[in-house]
A and B are shown apart, each in its own frame.
Chain A
Amino acid sequence: MASVTGVSVADELPGPDGRAPLAGDGARTGRLGDRLFGGAAVGAGLVVIGLVTLIGLFLLWKAIPALAGNEANFLTSREWRVSGDHPRFGIVEMLWTTVAASSIALVISVPVGVAVALFITHYSPRWLARPAANLVDLLAAVPSIVYGLWGLRTFGPTFVPVQEWLTAHLGWFPLFSTTSISGSGTILFIGVVLAIMVLPIVTALSREVFAQTPVAHVEGALALGATKWEMIRTAVLPFGRPGVISASMLALGRALGETIAVTIIVSALSQGTPWTWSLLNGGETFASRIANNAAEFDSPQKTGAFIAAGLVLFVLTFVVNAIARIVIERRKAFTE
């Protein structure tokens, strides 16, 4: 990620002898230290690749027999009956809940996180910047079960009036229509709690990239008569954009996979509840449904069905990351 660390354009040019930039001269000294370090680095890289591949294979291997026995369409069915002789299960409901809640989390946490990062790097007085940054980082250290209990008992009841206001004034809009869910066990509410959980990730990474904006860019903008806001808009934000996107994707990954807080807060739907697009409806995410039922995996078929759901989450995370990579690459092409 050359663009994030602030490497200048000159570094990207090929060397005089046509070698790739920053590749070194390729000389091998054959010294022990070189070989050990090189080997360790390669090994570490291979371990990660191997690990991800093996997890993927494990999921596939466990999921395929269950999917073969499934009598409903796995991708489009809303049913979830995994035991018995005629299993019928599909993931569309979990997919919707997972994606909707994570999207809400990002919509809230990215602007707020970027604003907090800008405050810390550019607006706050020097004595406040470090404590403020540490406090935000501290949010990341709170265990998710605590967020769950806090959300359920403390934050939830105060959030209910917001939901009531939404249904009363924006109820005509499908996303905010009334549902039978009581209290705060809604997709919207878990989105808000997830936003708070991922906020430190967005803030910490954005802060790092904003702080690395080349001083020349900043001073150049100011010298041309830009106000502070214009300087941020023309120098800091474009420079930090790939970093912010990376941060968002990392945050999204956490939101997609968050388990225990969601399990505690959300209201599950009973079988056969009519479909609605409302964010004020309940539902279960992939992770929460798997975690909630993990204690009762008593047959390979049932286990396989849940693992198949886990596989979809795995693929979803992959796709999201791939999209993020593409976006970052394209941005780089535009800005440089």
Chain B
Amino acid sequence: MKIQRLGQVASVALMGSIALAACGSDDNTGTAAAGGSSSSSSSNAASDCPTGTLDAEGSSAQKNAIDEAIASFQEKCAGTTVNYNPTGSGAGIKQFIAGQVDFAGSDSALRTKPKDGKVETDEAATHCGSPAWNLPMVTGPIAISYNVKGLDKLVLTPEVAANIFNGKITTWNDKAIAAINSGATLPSEPIKVFFRSDESGTTENFTKYLNAAAPKAWTAEPGKSWTGKGEGKEKSAGVASAVKATEGGITYAEWSYAKDNDLSIAQVDNGSGPVELTSEAVGKAVADAKPDGEGNDLRLKLDYATREAGAYPILLVTYEIVCSKDKDANKAALTKAFLTHFASAETQKSLEDIGYAPLPAEVQSKVETAIAALS
């Protein structure tokens, strides 16, 4: 009896494993065939699709964007694998300099000034044996998101925003807010500010904005850790869900988090009228940024205090940091192919749905030129 039952179990297991093995071998031939056909059918694309594995690491702010780009790239080039590990900008640059990854994603360009006795640009150049380039790839607007019942439209000037986030304005019906939101019904409840308790590029860019656009109200040095008031929550998801759960809450978070949590987003008035957060408004601000690097090193200097009409000024640009001449020719070809795909108008457009803004045309064409010059 017992033996019989054991036999039954064994036979079921055997059948199962045979079935699975069949699936497995099917899959293998399937991908091989797909890989072969894609490279042969589109012969002109064959050079765009070198085979191999590309490893990258860095900023978590661009994680969703790069994931989207990787998915569509691997659809096109079945033989390539791109891995992106969103461990944070600092970690990404460190790994890049150490030669552990092929390119790094970062919220800020490589530092040209020494910090702790080291200059990132020089270290990266030493690792590459050639200058490392910062290529702007993903622009992520930062939304000032709030949760106040019945308040669908809120306009904030940099001064008022700075005073809210440094704790000087404490109630929603404060005179300063009322003055720039005539006609809106503002409740008398307290403002609950939420900030990122982890060190983050979002905090850095947001405080850079406050500091540049309202230097009198926001005097603290911009940095990755929060210097204002409020309650800290873990990561973007934490602050966004805290605001969603808290009446009277306000925070700064990437656009996608504000969208996903259905939070209201404040319009920003830098001096030439309120600007709503849209892809066009963000693109305008990026196009307005001045190039800060030489040649194909496309580091940007964002003008947070811009008075350009219709430009949304609070944004972060994430860069891909690459070796201009990679020691490994195969990796160079892979990097080039992937970044070409990432920078293409089509891919950039697809990022809009997930809360990023496409690169504006003039910046995009410069990025494409730089990628074409990679070797």
Contacts and interface: CB of A to CB of B under 8 A. Distances in A.
B274 interface: no
A268 B116 contact: no
Interface string B173-202: 000000000000000000010010111100
A270 B233 contact: no
B90 A297 contact: yes
Interface stretch (A31-39, A162-170, A181-189, A223-231): A181-189
Interface in A261-317: 263-264, 267-271, 273, 282, 284, 292-293, 295-301
Nearest to A160: B245
A264 B116 contact: no
B227 interface: yes
A298 B233 contact: no
A296 B90 contact: yes
Contact of B91 (A80, A182, A282, A297): A297
B91 A268 contact: no
Interface in A136-184: 152, 157, 180-183
B93 interface: yes
Nearest to B91: A295
A212 interface: no
B246 interface: yes
B231 A295 contact: no
A270 B230 contact: yes
Contacts of A80: 225
Given A270-B231, A270-B232, A296 B238 contact: no
A182 B192 contact: yes
B94 A298 contact: yes
B264 to A, nearest CB: 18
A268 B245 contact: no
A182 B232 contact: no
Given A264-B234, A270-B232, A292-B197, A83 B223 contact: yes
A293 B198 contact: yes
B224 interface: yes
Given A183-B242, A183-B246, A270-B231, A298 B93 contact: yes
A185 B224 contact: no
A300 B232 contact: no
A296 to B, nearest CB: 4
Contacts of A157: 245
A146 to B, nearest CB: 16
Nearest to B201: A296
B90 A268 contact: no
A81 B226 CA distance: 10
Interface residues of A, number: 30
A182 B197 contact: no
Given A182-B192, A301-B116, A296 B224 contact: yes
A264 B238 contact: yes
A273 B229 CA distance: 8
Given A293-B198, A298-B93, A182 B234 contact: no
Contacts of A293: 198-199
A182 B198 CA distance: 19
Contacts of A270: 195, 226-232
A70 to B, nearest CB: 15
A182 B249 contact: yes
B88 interface: yes
Contacts of A268: 195, 197, 231-233
B208 to A, nearest CB: 15
Contacts of A295: 60, 87-88, 90-91, 198-199
15 contacts: A81-B225, A83-B223, A181-B231, A182-B246, A267-B197, A268-B197, A269-B232, A271-B227, A284-B197, A292-B197, A292-B234, A293-B198, A295-B91, A296-B90, A296-B224
- Nearest 10 pairs between A and B by C-beta? A268-B232, A298-B90, A295-B88, A268-B197, A267-B231, A296-B199, A292-B198, A296-B90, A299-B116, A270-B229
Interface of B: 60, 87-91, 93-94, 115-116, 192, 195, 197-200, 223-234, 238, 241-242, 245-246, 249
Given A180-B231, A282-B232, A295-B198, 10 more contacts: A83-B223, A268-B233, A269-B232, A270-B227, A270-B230, A270-B231, A273-B229, A284-B197, A292-B234, A293-B198
